[in-house]
Amino acid sequence: MRNNVSITTKMMDHMKSAGRLAGKVAIVTGASSGIGEATAKLFAEEGAQVVVGARRAAELNHLVDEIEACGGKAVALPGDVCDEAYARALVHLAETTFGGLDIAFNNAGTIGGMGPTIEVSAASFVETVTTNLVAAFLGAKCQLPAMLRRGAGSLIFTSSIAGHTVGFPGVASYSASKSGLIGLTQSLAAEFGPRNIRVNAILPGAVDTPMYRQMNATAEAQGFIANLHALKRVSSPEELARAVLYLASDDASFMTGAAMIVDGGTSINRT
């Protein structure tokens, strides 16, 4: 039994040292569920030390427990990504706990302001844009100086196919905010590329998250959404996490300013 435990420990240590993110420190927001949770776990599996952020403290603490149970390293800080002080606190935690910051996945967001556009209030529009776009800007603003201190970095945003090539009725606030993230990605990539910081965005289609299931509670609704994709299904959070891992890793060392479509063919589906 002792030999088996020793072998398992050695294997886990080897995996961490040989992982694609070995020695890296990452921040993941929106980590309490869905894409953020799956990405935080995958980053840890690949050797990164992870700071996870979201509003829900209990879910974050559970995530940290799961990561540590598998031999990874993670710390949690609950808070509101729309608060610049919170964005600074996440970076401070990364630097004081793990020694720096190499990767930031600004993933937190909302699908707010839905419905006929003429019925959406200005307050609702502003709230959606603030959560999806302004918060990402604040995160990047605080993360970039830490990456500059490291001499390199990878910033990743979660945009959406709804902000790029596919227009859906009744989601003007969401689409506007996600389109803005693409512009933010490209501008930061141009500004910080000469300083060895890459900035990219992923553009998912529908993803099977708790939020997705809440919004599409019936089999009929889920079937309709799945049929919008050329693959005739929605993505799992783990599939999106693998795309984020690629952008975070040195495998994407020559990619910056990219709006990487990971949408199951929503943007090309005509049936």
Active site residues: 174
User: Rounded to whole angstroms, how far apart are CA atoms 56 and 69?
Assistant: 20
- Biggest distance spanned by C-alpha atoms of the chain: 67
User: Rounded to whole angstroms, how far apart are CA atoms 131 and 206?
Assistant: 19
CB half-sphere exposure, 211, CA atoms < 13 A: 14
| Angle between helix 172-192 and 135-150 (nearest 10) | 20
Structure tokens that stand for 80 in this block: 């509101």
Name the strands in the sheet holding 197-204, side by side, starting at the edge strand that comes first in the sequence: 73-78, 49-54, 25-29, 103-106, 153-158, 197-204, 259-262
CB burial readout 92-104, b (16+ within 10 A) else e? ebbbeebebbbbb
Q: What would the 3-class secondary structure string for 46-73 be?
A: CCCEEEEEECCHHHHHHHHHHHHHCCCE
Structure tokens that stand for 198 in this block: 């890459």
Neighbours of 167 (CB within 10 A): 11
